[in-house]
Amino acid sequence: MSNIVIISGSPSTLSRSSAISAFLESILIKEGNQVSTITVRNLPPEDLIYANFNSPAIQQAKLLVEQAEAVIIVSPVYKASYPGVLKTFLDLLPEKSLEGKIVFPVATGGTYAHLLSLEYSFKPLFSVLGARESVESVYMVDSQLTYSGQEITFVDSEIEQRLKSAIGQLLERLQRKELQEIR
């Protein structure tokens, strides 16, 4: 059993990111993993804006990341980058907080024009945070799925398969890593 944290980066209460996070969480739990979710919009705004490193809520979220073996970051893309609320939270993490963890970025956007945001916005940030091992990212266009609350429906079955395949890769890497640690 692996310890995985999902960071949902949408500033909206109801969002594709939330629905995707819930979908991924259900798959991971069915596979016997321990999963925690950090929903950045639910963190105290004052603590985020004023970089209150000592905030109990921020400390708890940082601890979840620290204890995780894998980190999944699910985020919308706005103007070719991730939302400010997600960046503000990630800025509060220690510099090498993703070191030794498998990172899996998932992003949604209105058009394919934002596809490269995973390479030019997300990847450099993850690198600064120490991420060296990642699962191939998945980018989805809003029209490929619909959602109602936490329920998600894939309009494009190929994107659902890509998402499930990436989760499979994540779980395989975690299992390999666990076996190496045992040896």
**CA 30 to centroid of chain Cα atoms:** 18
The CATH number covering residue 70 comes to 3.40.50.360
Query: What confidence score (pLDDT) does residue 116 get?
Result: 80
Integer Cα distance of 104 and 133 in angstroms:
9
Segments forming the whole domain that contains residue 128: 3-182
Integer Cα distance of 72 and 105 in angstroms:
6
Integer Cα distance of 172 and 176 in angstroms:
6
Quick check: 109 and 76 in contact, CB under 8 A?
yes
Q: Over the stretch 119-173, which tens digit does the pLDDT of each residue have?
A: 888 899 999 999 988 888 999 999 999 999 888 999 999 999 999 999 999 999 9
Report the domain count for the chain.
Answer: 1
- Rounded to two decimals, the pTM is 0.94
